[in-house]
Amino acid sequence: MRLSPHMMVMQNAAQKAARCLLRDFNEVEMLQVSVKGPGDFVSQADLRAESTIRTELEKARPGYAFLMEESGYSGSDNWSWRWIVDPLDGTTNFLHGIPHWAISIALQKRNDNGDIEIVSGLVYNPVANEMFWAEKGIGAFLNERRLRVSARRDMYQAVFATGIPFAISTEEKRKGFVQTVSSLMPQIAGLRRFGAAALDLAWVAAGRYEGFWELGLKPWDVAAGLILVREAGGHVSDIQGNPLNDIGMSVDTVAANAALFSTIREIISDNTPNK
C-alpha cells in the first residue's frame, strides 16, 4: 500500500525507535527509572525513544512544532503543523515485562480559518509487530488491512476497555469510577484494563473492543487513537459529547462503535462528578 509522505515519515520514526525499545524491553532490569508522580514512571527507554523519534521527524519536516510526553512543547506558537508524540505508552507495563505497550505519533494541522484537526496518526506495538495507522479521509489500517469498528449492537455482547484511577486521582473521581462500573457491569459481556490508552483506542478501531473510556488523559495518550477510531467508523468525544479536535492537556475520552456510543457515553456522564 502506498503511504503518504507524512505517514512514511511517521512509520519510519516509529520503527527506528522500536528497535531500541525492544532491546531495552529484553533488558528491562538494567534500566534506570525515575518517578514523575504516584504510578507515573519515566525510564531511560522513554527518553531514548523520544529523542530518536524527534530527530527523525525534525530531519524530515523541519519547522514543525512538537508536543511530546517527556520534553513537552516546542516550536512556534503559530505553528501550521504539530507532532504529538508518546514514545512509550504503557510504561508501567514495559517496566514490569508485560508485552502490551506502544509508540504513538499523531500530526495536527492548523487550517486557514484557525481550526485545528488531527490528520494522521499511528499506534505501533513492536512486540506484536502491529502498526495501526490512519489518515483523514483515507481510512484506518492494521499493517495493510483495512479496519472497521465492531458491528455489535447489543450491550450484553459488548466488551469495553477503561483505565482505573490510581493514587493521584481524587476520592471523588475514584467514587465516580466505581459508580460507573457498578452501573455498566450488569449490562455488558466484559470490562478490560490493559494499561495503554493508545492501544485501547487502536483496539476499538480494530473491533476488538466495542468501546473505551478514561478520564484525565493527556493529549499524547489519545491523539493518534482518535483518528484511528474515527476513520474506522467509530465515534469519539468527551463525556459531554463534545468533539475532541483541539485537545487540551486533560482529556476525558469516550470512544465506541456507532451503535453503542450514545449508551456508553450517557452511563459515564451520569456517574461522573462535576461533569
pLDDT tens per residue, range 102-146: 999 999 999 999 999 999 999 999 999 999 999 999 999 999 999
In the sheet with 65-68, reading across from the earlier edge strand, the strands are 72-74, 65-68, 81-89, 102-110, 116-125, 130-135, 139-142, 145-146
Cα pseudo-dihedral 197, 211, 123, 225, rounded to 10: -90
Q: Is the pLDDT of residue 32 over 70?
A: no
Please state, in angstroms and rounded to a whole number, the distance separating the CA atoms of residues 59 and 74: 15
pLDDT tens, residue by residue, 202-250:
999 999 999 999 998 999 999 999 999 999 999 999 999 998 877 887 8
Buried b (16+ CB within 10 A) or exposed e, 250-259: ebbbbbbbeb
pLDDT at residue number 164: 85
Which of the four pLDDT bands, split at 50, 70 and 90, describes residue 168?
Answer: low
- At residue 29, does pLDDT exceed 70? yes
Q: Residue 178 CB: number of other CB atoms within 10 A?
A: 13
Rounded CA gap, 189 and 180, in Å? 15
Higher pLDDT, 77 or 54: 54
**Nearest CA to 35 among 45, 44, 43?**
43
The pLDDT assigned to 273 comes to 77
Confidence class of residue 31 from pLDDT cuts 50, 70 and 90? confident
Question: How many other CB atoms are found less than 10 A from the CB of residue 54?
Answer: 20
- Residue 33, CA distances (Å) to 42, 43, 68, 246 in order: 6, 4, 18, 32
Quote the CA–CA distance of 129 and 71 in Å, as a whole number: 26
Hey, how many other C-beta atoms are within 10 angstroms of the C-beta on 274? 7
Of 7-16, 151-160, 162-171, 240-249, least confident by mean pLDDT is: 162-171
Nearest by Cα to 232 from 104, 111, 114, 145: 145
59/186 Cα distance (integer angstroms): 52
Q: Where are the beta strands (DSSP E) in 111-249?
A: 116-125, 130-135, 139-142, 145-146, 159-162, 190-192, 211-217, 235-237
